[in-house]
Amino acid sequence: MVAMIMVSATTSSTRLLPIVGPRPLVPTGLAVAAAGLTCLTWIEVGSSYAGAVLPGIMVLGLGFGMIMARSSWESC
Q: pLDDT by residue (tens digit) across 65-75?
A: 998 875 555 55
Q: Identify the pLDDT of residue 68.
A: 84
Q: Which residue has the higher pLDDT, 8 or 74?
A: 8
Question: How far apart are the C-alpha atoms of 57 and 61, rounded to whole Å?
Answer: 6
Q: Identify the pLDDT of residue 35.
A: 97
- Which pTM was predicted? 0.84
